[in-house]
Chains A and B, each alone.
Chain A
C-alpha cells in the first residue's frame, strides 16, 4: 500500500491547493475539511511547514482512542469509523506532528486516508506517493 509523503517541503509555495483538494474530495469547498495543513514557518520568506499524516505503523492516535473508532490501515496510518467516535480528542493530542485535524462542525477528527488525491493538485512536487518501507 502506498502512502502520502512529503518529497520536498522546500519546494512548497504555500498555495494550499492540496488542502482545497482534500476538502473537495469529501464534497466540500474551502479548507475546513482538509486532512493536511500548510502554514508559513514564520513569515512567507522562511518557507512552509507541510503537515501530513506519517502513516505510522504503530499509530499513537490509534492507541489513544478509547472506543476503537480507529483501526490500522494496511500500509500504515489509520481508518476512522465515525459512528464509533465520541469526539474526545485523545487522538488529536496523541499526534505529535499535529496531523490529526479537527472538524468543529461535526466534532470529529479529520485524518488522512492516503488516497493521494491532493498529490494530483500539487504543481510543485512537494507531495508524492511512496511505498511503505
Chain B
C-alpha cells in the first residue's frame, strides 16, 4: 500500500511538516473517516469555530484519482453556523490535485497575522501574501488572478473565499474551480477567521499499482456502469435541476418560505427549460464522465451603448433553483441567474442565503422587521431588491444584516418569526418538503443536511413506516454514506458504488475488506460523529422544529407532531447509547 502522507500546516508560525499516517488510513480508509480522527487529534476540544485552535481538515480516499467518480474532497471543521460539527464536500479538480501533490489529507491550524494564501505541491507549502486579494469584490476575479499567476494548469485546484468569508458570514462558502463549492456550514468563514484567502494545490506525483490487471478490470466495470446507467445520463443531460418539476408536481417544492409547496413558476426554473433556453456549456469534475455541472449564459446589453453586450456564465443546480427561485417566488429566470451570480461573487452558500432571504421577506411582510432594517424593499419575485440584499448580507451595514449573516436561527431569536425560520440544527433547510423522513433527516443527520440520510428519497419510496423504522432507515443510509465519503466517491454515483463494487475496487488496490467490514466501518464512523457532536455540546432534546413545516401538507398529508416527537425520542435513545458507549 502507498504511503498516506498528511500535510500539517500551522498558519501562525507559517510552518508545515509531513507525516506518514498509514495506520490511520488503514483503519479508517480515508475521507471522512480519516478526517474526523485528524480533527479530533488536532483541534482544541470545545473550541470556538473562529479560535486559532479550530482545525480544518481536507481528506481524500483510497479511490481518489484511481476510479471514475471518485472526485470529491471532504472537509471537516467546526461550523460557525451551527456551533457544532462541520462537514462539507466539493469536487472540481480538488481531489485529484491533492492526490497528485502526494497527500491524503491536509490539516490547517492557527490564524495568520495577515491575509495569506497557500500554494501546496509535492515540495511543501508556500505562504504567500494575500493583501492584494483580500477584499476583492468577486470570487471570479480572485480565481482569475491566481490562475494566471501560478503553475499547474489542468492539474490543480484553486480554492478561495469571497468577501462573505472575510466578513465572517456564518454560511460563507469556499469556491473551488469557480463553479464547485464547499458550500454548507460556513467553511468560508473559518477560512476568513484564519485570514486564509485561498488554497492552491498542484502536483505531478504518479501512483504505481501492484495489480494493474485487476485494477484495469475493476476500472472498466465501473466506467461502463457510469456511462451506461440511466441515472447518470439524466445528471448529464439536465443536471440536478431535473428535480424541479417532479418535486413540484408532488407538492414538495418549498415555495415563498414554505408557505406553499407548489410553485406556479416551476416550469420557468426547471432543468428542461434551462437546458433548452440557457444552457451554454457542461463541464465535469476531474475523473467524472458524467459532467453534471451546467453553466447557463446570460446575455445582457449595456444600457449606455448600443450593441455592447456582456455574456456571463452562471452555474445552476437544483439547490439554488429552489432556495433563490421558488423560495423567493422568482419566475424570471434571467433574474434568478443574476441573483445566483451575485451569491457566487460574494462567496455565500446558495441554500442558506436563499432561506435567509425568504425568512427576511416574510418577517418584513409580517412586521417583525421594519424598512430601516431591511433597507431595500424585498418582496417575492423582486430580483433586483434581492440582489442588493445579498450584498447587504455580505457587508452587514446594520444590526439586522449582522443578525441575518449569523443564519435564520439566530436572526429569528432576535427579531421573532421563529415559527417560520426554516433551520434545522442551526442549518438552513434544503429544498425538499417530501414528508416526515426528509424533515426528521434534517434534524438527526450529522450535518443537518438532506444528504446525510436522504430522507427525501425514503419519503418517495416508502410509506407507513413507524417512526422508529423511519429513524433506523435514515441511520442505516447515513452509515453506508460514511463509507462512500471515506472512499471518497460522489454521492451521485451511490448506485454504482454498491457494496460489491466497492469491495472489488478496493481489492484491486490490495485492500482486503469484505462487505460486512465495510458496513461495520460505516457504522463506526457514524458513531464517532455522534460522539464528537456530543462532545461539542449537541443535544437531540434541544432540536427545534419550525412550526411552518406542520402547516403545509406534503404528499403524505400534514405532518404529525406526535410522529415527529416519537421519531426524535427514538433517535435520542440511539444517540445517548452511542455517547455512553464512547465516554
- Name the segment of A21-29, A58-66, A80-88 touching the other chain: A21-29
Distance (whole angstroms) from the CB of A21 to the closest CB of chain B:
9
Interface residues of A in 18-40 (CB under 8 A from B): 20, 23-24, 27-33, 37-40
Report A-chain residues with C-beta under 8 Å of the C-beta of B402: none
Distance of A56 Cα from B143 Cα, bound (Å) = 36
Given A15-B288, A43-B144, residue A37 in contact with residue B154 (CB < 8 A): yes
Report B-chain residues with C-beta under 8 Å of the C-beta of A29: 65-66, 207-209, 215
Q: Which of B206, B227, B295 contacts A45 (CB 8 A)?
A: B295
Distance (whole angstroms) from the CB of B456 to the closest CB of chain A:
27
Q: Are B209 and A32 in contact (CB under 8 A)?
A: no
Q: Which of A16, A27, A44, A124 contacts B295 (CB 8 A)?
A: A44
Q: Which of B65, B177, B227 contacts A44 (CB 8 A)?
A: B177
Report B-chain residues with C-beta under 8 Å of the C-beta of A121: 223, 289
Report B-chain residues with C-beta under 8 Å of the C-beta of A37: 154
Whether, in the assembled complex, B100 has its beta carbon less than 8 Å from a beta carbon of chain A, the answer is yes
Report B-chain residues with C-beta under 8 Å of the C-beta of A16: 96, 154, 286-287
Whether, in the assembled complex, A94 has its beta carbon less than 8 Å from a beta carbon of chain B, the answer is no
Whether, in the assembled complex, A17 has its beta carbon less than 8 Å from a beta carbon of chain B, the answer is yes
- Give the residue among B66, B96, B282, B283 with the most A Cβ atoms within 10 A: B283
Distance of A37 Cα from B179 Cα, bound (Å) = 21
Report B-chain residues with C-beta under 8 Å of the C-beta of A124: 291
Whether, in the assembled complex, A104 has its beta carbon less than 8 Å from a beta carbon of chain B, the answer is yes
Report A-chain residues with C-beta under 8 Å of the C-beta of B318: none
Report B-chain residues with C-beta under 8 Å of the C-beta of A28: 206-209
Whether, in the assembled complex, A14 has its beta carbon less than 8 Å from a beta carbon of chain B, the answer is yes
Q: Are A32 and B295 in contact (CB under 8 A)?
A: no
Q: Are A123 and B144 in contact (CB under 8 A)?
A: no
Q: Are B287 and A42 in contact (CB under 8 A)?
A: no
Distance of A27 Cα from B293 Cα, bound (Å) = 30
- B-side interface residues, number (CB < 8 Å): 43
A-B contact count (CB 8 A): 97
Distance (whole angstroms) from the CB of A80 to the closest CB of chain B:
17
Q: Are A45 and B281 in contact (CB under 8 A)?
A: yes
Q: Are A30 and B212 in contact (CB under 8 A)?
A: no
Q: Are A30 and B177 in contact (CB under 8 A)?
A: no
- Give the residue among B147, B179, B204, B216 with the most A Cβ atoms within 10 A: B204
Q: Are A43 and B143 in contact (CB under 8 A)?
A: yes
Given A27-B212, A38-B154, residue A14 in contact with residue B143 (CB < 8 A): no
Whether, in the assembled complex, B284 has its beta carbon less than 8 Å from a beta carbon of chain A, the answer is yes
Distance of A29 Cα from B154 Cα, bound (Å) = 16
Whether, in the assembled complex, B235 has its beta carbon less than 8 Å from a beta carbon of chain A, the answer is no
Whether, in the assembled complex, B313 has its beta carbon less than 8 Å from a beta carbon of chain A, the answer is yes
Distance (whole angstroms) from the CB of B211 to the closest CB of chain A:
10
Q: 1/0 contact trace for B96-114 toward A, CB 8 Å?
A: 1001100000000000000
Whether, in the assembled complex, B225 has its beta carbon less than 8 Å from a beta carbon of chain A, the answer is no
Whether, in the assembled complex, B153 has its beta carbon less than 8 Å from a beta carbon of chain A, the answer is yes
Q: Are A31 and B153 in contact (CB under 8 A)?
A: no
Q: Are A44 and B283 in contact (CB under 8 A)?
A: yes
Distance (whole angstroms) from the CB of B275 to the closest CB of chain A:
15
Binding site for A on B (CB under 8 A): 65-66, 68, 96, 99-100, 140, 143-144, 147-148, 153-155, 177-179, 204-209, 212, 215-216, 219, 223, 227, 280-289, 291, 293, 295, 313
A-B pairs with lowest CB-CB distance, top 8:
A39-B154, A45-B313, A32-B206, A15-B284, A13-B291, A29-B207, A13-B284, A39-B153
28 residue pairs of the A-B complex, CB under 8 angstroms, read A13-B284, A14-B286, A15-B287, A15-B289, A15-B291, A24-B219, A27-B208, A27-B209, A27-B212, A28-B206, A28-B209, A29-B208, A30-B65, A30-B96, A30-B100, A31-B155, A32-B100, A32-B204, A32-B207, A39-B153, A40-B153, A42-B144, A43-B143, A43-B147, A44-B177, A44-B281, A45-B179, A121-B223
Q: A13-B284, A17-B223, A44-B179 are in contact. List 15 more A-B contacts (CB 8 A).
A: A13-B282, A15-B284, A15-B291, A17-B68, A20-B287, A28-B207, A28-B208, A30-B66, A31-B204, A32-B206, A37-B154, A45-B281, A45-B313, A103-B206, A123-B227
